[in-house]
Amino acid sequence: MLTNIIRLELKRILGKKKLLVLGILGIGLLITGVVIYLEYNTPQRTSFEAFSFATGYILPLALPLLAGLSTGDMLAEDRHLGLVQLFMSRGVLPYQYISGKAIGSVVGQICFTGGLLITFLLTTFLLFPAGPILEYAADFAKAFAATNPMVYCLVLLLIYVCAATAFSGIALLVSVWIENIFVVVVTPTILYFAALYSLSMSLINPYCYLALNEGVSSSPSFTFLKVMGYWITISVTVHVLAVMAFSLKKDHS
Amino acid sequence: MKEILKIRSLKKIVRRKPILRDINLTLSEGEILGLIGPNGAGKTTLLKIISGSITATAGSVQLAEPESGIGVLPETPALLPSLSGFQNLQLLASIRRKAREQEIREAMKTVGLDPANRKAVGNYSLGMKQRLMLAQAIMEKPKLLLLDEPTNGLDPLGIIDLRQLLFRLASQGVGIIIASHLLHEIELMCHRVAIISNGSIVREVNLQSSEQHLIEISVNSRSDWDKLVRWAGKDNLRPLPSKDFPRGILNSELPVSRVLAELLPAGIAIESIQRAAINLEAIFLECSQLKDGVYR
C-alpha cells in the first residue's frame, strides 16, 4: 500500500502544470539576475559566474516562496478538497498517507528546484562562454570557484535543492494543522524572513546558509558540508515531525 | 443475514464536548440504514469514524470484511478539478489497485457518466460531480457504502437512478448507510432508520412493513364504521378525520388479507384498506423537539 501511495503522490506532484508555470517564473527571475550581473564589473564574464551571481542574488529571497508554492500545498490541497477521507476509506493508514506526502515533497523539490537550476545553468551556456568564476563566488570559496567552477555550481545546486526541501517540509508540517492553502504556502517565506530580521547573522540564521555569508576561516569543503548539513537537518526534522504529527492526529479529515 | 458492520459503545469527545455518546449500531448484508438527525447531531462524524478518517475516543467499529474496503460518498464532492472524471477515478483506484480500467468505465456508466468525456471535473455541474463521487464509491465493489447526503445536487431523474442503484447494490449484499435530511427519500430508500440527536441514537425505526401492526381502513357508511368498531374493539380503532368515508387506523397483528377475509362476511362495506406507512416526519419531530429554541 505504501508503495502505491508514494507512486501516486509522485505521479500527482510531477504531473502538475503548476510546476511548469512556476519553473518558467523561476527561470524568468534568474534571467533577471543575469541582467543585473551585466551591470557589475568582472575580469571575465562566464556562464558559471552568471549562474553563481544570479542564483546568489535571487534565490536567497525567492526560494522559500517558490518551494512553498510548488510542493508546499500537497496536504493542504487534499484537506481542502476532502480527499483525505477517500484515502482513509480505502484502508490507507495515516502514516502511509503522510509518508507518501513527505516523500513527494522531497522528490518533488529535487525534481523542481534541481530541474530549474539545471535548466538555468544550461541557459547560461547559451549566453556566455564557460570559464572560471573570478569575482562572484562565496567569500570562503573564491579560490575553489576559480579553479573548479563546474563543481562549485553543482554544489550550489545541491545546497539550494536541500534548502528547498526544507521549506517544502515546513509547509507540509504547517498543513497538518492548517487547511488554508494560502497560509500554508507563504508560511516558509514568513518564517524565513522573520528569522532573517530577528536573528543576527548567527549560526542559526537561515539567510546565512542560503546566501552563503560564511566566514573564510574554514576550508571550502567543510563549509559546504556545514551548509548542506544545516538544510538537510531542517528538512529531515520537519518532514519527520510532519509524519509523526499527522499519524498521531485524531481527526484526519 | 450476516452482520457486516458492528459499532459498540462508540464515543467521540472533542475539546471536552461529547460529539457522539455511546453509539451502538449494526448493519447487515443487503440492508439500507438511514441516519437522520438535526444539523450537528453527529451523523457526519459517525460516518467519518466508520470510514477511518476520524479516530473515536472510545468504543469499537468492526467490519466483517475490512479487506473489501468502504465506499464513501462525502457530503461535498472531493475531486481534483483539473483532471477529467475518468482520470480522477483512475487516481483513486491506484491506491488499492483493485479496480481496473474496465471496472472504472463500468462504474461511470452505471451512474450515467461518459468515461470518454475529457472535460475537466472543475467544469462539471454539481449533479455530475455527485454522480462521479458515487462512481468512485462503488467502483471497487465494497461491501459497505457510506453515503452522506447522496441526493445533494441531483436532479429528479438522478435521485430515481440513485434509488434504483442502491436497491440493486443492496440486493447484491452491499450494506449501505445513508445520512440525509430528506425524510421522504430516507423513507423510500431505507429498510431501517436510526435517529441521532445530540450525539446519541434516540430511536431506531424499522421501515419494513412486516413489523407494522397498523392498518388504514375506510368504510362506506357510518353504520359500517359502527360494525367495524364492534369487530375491532374501541381501543384498537383510532378514527381519522375524513371528508367522505369514515376512516381510521386499526391496530391489528393480523395480515391485511386476513382482516379483509373477516370483515367482508360480517357485512362491512370496505372502501379501502392498506398497511399504514410509518410517519417518519412525526417520529423525527418527536425525537428532535426544540428545547429552549434549539434542537435537543
Express each pLDDT in B231-258 by its tens digit.
Answer: 888 878 878 777 788 888 888 878 888 8
Continuous segment of H or E residues that includes residue A40: none
Residues across chain A: 253
The pLDDT value given to residue A48:
94
| Confidence label for A17 from pLDDT (cuts 50, 70 and 90) | confident
Q: Closest Cα to residue A109, out of A165, A56, A189?
A: A165
DSSP bridge pairs for B28: B3
One domain, residues B201 and B218: no
Nearest CB to B78: which of A4, A12, A85? A85
Residue B262: CATH number of its domain: 3.30.70
Continuous segment of H or E residues that includes residue A71: helix A47-71
The pLDDT value given to residue B291:
52
> How many domains, chain B?
2
Q: Closest Cα to residue A157, out of A187, A102, A120?
A: A120
* Residue B93 one-letter amino acid: A
| Confidence label for A107 from pLDDT (cuts 50, 70 and 90) | very high
- Tens of pLDDT, residue by residue over B111-126, are 889 999 889 999 998 8
Max distance between CA atoms of chain A, in angstroms, equals 64
Tell me, yes or no, whether B231 lies in a domain: yes
Nearest CB to B69: which of A81, A91, A252? A91
One domain, residues B46 and B168: yes
The pLDDT value given to residue B288:
65
CB distance B78–A83 less than 8 Å?
yes
Question: Measured between alpha carbons, how far is A109 from A112 in angstroms, rounded to an integer?
Answer: 5
Q: DSSP state, B84?
A: B
Query: Which one of B20, B87, B95, B177 makes the best mutation probe of the A interface by having the most chain A beta carbons within 10 Å?
Result: B95
Distance from CA of B185 to the nearest CA of A (A): 25
Report the residue of chain B nearest A80, measured CA to CA: B78
Tell me, yes or no, whether B143 lies in a domain: yes
The pLDDT value given to residue B153:
82
One domain, residues B183 and B219: no
The pLDDT value given to residue B286:
65
| Confidence label for B276 from pLDDT (cuts 50, 70 and 90) | confident
Helices B101-110, B85-96: inter-axial angle, 10-degree rounding:
130
- Tens of pLDDT, residue by residue over A151-182, are 999 999 999 999 999 999 999 999 999 999 99
Question: Measured between alpha carbons, how far is A85 from A92 in angstroms, rounded to an integer?
Answer: 10
List the B237-240 sheet strands across, edge first: B237-240, B247-251, B214-219, B270-275
Q: DSSP state, A140?
A: G
Degrees to nearest 5, angle at CA A76 with A70 and A80: 125
The pLDDT value given to residue A215:
58
Question: Measured between alpha carbons, how far is B274 from B277 in angstroms, rounded to an integer?
Answer: 9
Report the residue of chain B nearest A16, measured CA to CA: B82
Question: Measured between alpha carbons, how far is B139 from A90 in angstroms, rounded to an integer?
Answer: 12
The pLDDT value given to residue B296:
47
> Looking at this predicted complex, what is its ipTM?
0.80
Question: Measured between alpha carbons, how far is A99 from A117 in angstroms, rounded to an integer?
Answer: 26
List, in order, residues 6 or more apart from A95 with CB less than 8 Å away: A243, A246, A247
Question: Measured between alpha carbons, how far is A148 from A145 in angstroms, rounded to an integer?
Answer: 5
One domain, residues B52 and B180: yes
Number of Cβ within a 10 Å radius of residue A196: 18
One domain, residues B220 and B177: no
- Tens of pLDDT, residue by residue over A194-248, are 888 887 766 677 877 887 776 556 688 888 888 899 999 999 999 999 999 999 9
List, in order, residues 6 or more apart from B169 with CB less than 8 Å away: B138, B145, B176
Is residue A63 within 8 Å of A210, Cβ to Cβ?
yes
One domain, residues B173 and B223: no
- Tens of pLDDT, residue by residue over A53-75, are 999 999 999 999 999 999 989 99
pTM of the model: 0.81
One domain, residues B149 and B198: yes
The pLDDT value given to residue A100:
93
Top pLDDT among B149 and B283 is at: B149
One domain, residues B192 and B218: no
One domain, residues B80 and B177: yes
Q: Closest Cα to residue A75, out of A87, A90, A63?
A: A87
The pLDDT value given to residue A140:
82
One domain, residues B162 and B258: no
CB distance A90–B91 less than 8 Å?
no
CB distance A84–B53 less than 8 Å?
yes
Tell me, yes or no, whether B283 lies in a domain: no
For all residues of chain A together, what is the average pLDDT? 90
* Residue B279 one-letter amino acid: N
Phi, psi of A57 (to 5 degrees): -85, -40
> What CA–CA distances, in Å, run from A236 to A193, A225, B27?
21, 16, 45
- Which of A155-169, A224-238, B138-152, B198-212 is the least confident region? B198-212
Q: Is the pLDDT of residue B211 over 70?
A: no
Tell me, yes or no, whether B287 lies in a domain: no
Tell me, yes or no, whether B290 lies in a domain: no
> What CA–CA distances, in Å, run from B130 to A56, A124, A187, B77, B183?
50, 50, 34, 6, 20
Report the residue of chain B nearest A84, measured CA to CA: B53
Continuous segment of H or E residues that includes residue A156: helix A149-175
One domain, residues B107 and B218: no
Query: Which one of A90, A247, A249, A253 makes the best mutation probe of the B interface by having the most chain B beta carbons within 10 Å?
Result: A90
Question: Measured between alpha carbons, how far is B147 from B166 in angstroms, rounded to an integer?
Answer: 10
Question: Measured between alpha carbons, how far is B278 from A101 in angstroms, rounded to an integer?
Answer: 49
Question: Measured between alpha carbons, how far is B8 from B200 in angstroms, rounded to an integer?
Answer: 13
> Could you tell me the residue range of the domain that residue B16 belongs to?
3-206
Tell me, yes or no, whether B147 lies in a domain: yes
DSSP bridge pairs for B240: B247
Q: Closest Cα to residue B170, out of B289, B21, B5, B32?
A: B32
Continuous segment of H or E residues that includes residue B201: strand B200-206
CB distance A91–B66 less than 8 Å?
yes
Distance from CA of A200 to the nearest CA of B (A): 40
Tell me, yes or no, whether B129 lies in a domain: yes
Question: Measured between alpha carbons, how far is B83 from B72 in angstroms, rounded to an integer?
Answer: 20
Q: Retrieve residue B240's grid coordinates.
A: 381519522
Q: Retrieve residue B48's grid coordinates.
A: 467519518
Question: Measured between alpha carbons, how far is B276 from B209 in angstroms, rounded to an integer?
Answer: 9
Q: Is the pLDDT of residue B1 over 80?
A: no
Distance from CA of A182 to the nearest CA of B (A): 18
Tell me, yes or no, whether B51 lies in a domain: yes
Residue B15: CATH number of its domain: 3.40.50.300
Number of Cβ within a 10 Å radius of residue B24: 13
For all residues of chain B together, what is the average pLDDT? 86
One domain, residues B164 and B225: no
